[in-house]
Structure 1
Amino acid sequence: MFTLPGVPLIYNGEEVGNSKRLDLFEQVVIDWKSKGRHREVYRTLGALRHDHSWLSTGSIRPLKHNGGGSILAYVRTDDSSGTSLLCIFNFAARAAILDVPIPEDMQHGTTTDVVTNASLPRQGQLKVHLPAFGYALYLISP
C-alpha cells in the first residue's frame, strides 16, 4: 500500500503486529511496547513515503519478470526528477528467485536496496531473492 498511488490505510494495531481480528470501529488498546518485526517494516515504508512524496501521485507501470503469477512487480517514477522505485512482492508461501529486467530508461544511475541501504550492481537486470511473502524495494536514482 505504501508504494501505490493514494493514501495507505493501516488497520488498528497492524503496525505492531496485532493479529486479532477486530470488528469495524472496535476499540482496542495498542501495545506500543511490542517489538514485532511488523513495526520496523511500517517505519521503513512510512519514512520512504515521507521522503518521496511523489509515491502518492507519481506514475506506475508493471514490470516483466520470470517469477510466475505469485509475483507482482512494478516501478513508480517521479516524473520531475527521474528517480524510480522498483517494487517486487512475493505472494507465495515459498521463496522465489527471479530476474527482473531494468527498463531501458533506468539503465544508468545507482540502485539502492531500500531496506538494507546497500548499493546494487545491475547489468540490464536484477537477480532478486524473495522469502515467502517477502518483498524487495529498490530506489533507482538517475
Structure 2
Amino acid sequence: MTRIHGKETNYSNFGDALEAATVFTVMMDGMPLVYSGQEAGLDRSLEFFEKDPIEWKTHKNEALYTTLFNLKHRNQALWNGSYGGEMVRIMNDKMDQVISFVREKNGDKVLIFMNLSKDSVMVQFDTSFDTGHYTSLFTGQPHTVPETMVMNMAPWEYVILHHEHPE
C-alpha cells in the first residue's frame, strides 16, 4: 500500500521487523540515518513547513541505538567507508530467511546473524573462518564460535557477536 506525502512511518513500513531492520542498517556498510525522533519512538510523520514538536521521552529505541552506536564507535570493523571492514557473507542453510555476515578490520571483528522472516527457524552456519571467542552484544556474555554453529532463531531475531583487538 502506498502512503501519500510522508504519512508512512517506520512502524507502518516495517511492523514487527523494525528492530531487525534497525540493527541491519547500523551493522552493514555505510552510515545509517536516524531521523528526528526515531530514538524516542516517534510513531507518526512530522509535518513539513509547520511547527511540529517531537515529544522527547525515554523509549526502548534509545537503548537499542545507544548499544549499536557505542559498538560502531569503538569497533573498527563497523567504521564507515574504507575505514571499516567489508561485509563478507557467512553461509548458512536457510539463506532465504537468514542473513549472516562478518565484518573485520585491524583485529576488530563483528559477526551478525539475523532471522529476517516471520517464522522461527533452526539454522546452521558455516563459521569455520570465524572461530574464536566473542562477546554477545546484548547480553554481555562470552560466546565461543565453533566451525559450525547451530541456532534456533525466533522471528526477526538478531544476534551480534564481537571482539575488539586490545590496543
* Paired amino acid for 2:143: L
SS at match of 1:85: strand
Cα deviation per residue 1:39-58 (whole Å; 9 max; x = unaligned)? 21111101111111441221
Partner of 1:3: 27
Partner of 2:119: 94
Q: Is the 8 A contact 1:86 1:140 kept in 2?
A: no
Cα offset, 1:23, TM superposition: 5.9
Q: 1:46 to 1:28 in 2, by over 3 A?
A: farther
Cα offset, 1:93, TM superposition: 1.7
Gaps of 5+ in 2: 1-24
Instruction: Describe how 1:92-131 pairs up with structure 2 within 5 A.
Output: 92-104=117-129, 106-107=130-131, 109-131=132-154
1:85 and 2:110 are equivalent in the alignment = yes
Q: 1:141 to 1:24 in 2, by over 3 A?
A: same
Q: Which has the higher helix share?
A: 2
How many percent of aligned residue pairs carry the same amino acid? 20
Partner of 2:155: 132
Cα deviation per residue 1:41-92 (whole Å; 9 max; x = unaligned)? 11110111111144122122111112241211111011x22x3111122221
Q: Is the 8 A contact 1:130 1:136 kept in 2?
A: no
Q: Distance in 2 between matches of 1:130 and 1:92?
A: 10
Q: 1:88 to 1:121 in 2, by over 3 A?
A: same
Count of aligned positions? 137
SS at match of 1:110: strand
Partner of 2:45: 21
TM-score by length of 2: 0.69
TM-score by length of 1: 0.80
Cα offset, 1:95, TM superposition: 2.5
Cα offset, 1:126, TM superposition: 2.4
- Which is worse superposed, 23-32 or 127-136? 23-32
Q: Distance in 2 between matches of 1:72 and 1:12?
A: 28
SS at match of 1:67: coil
Gaps of 5+ in 1: none
Q: Distance in 2 between matches of 1:91 and 1:23?
A: 31
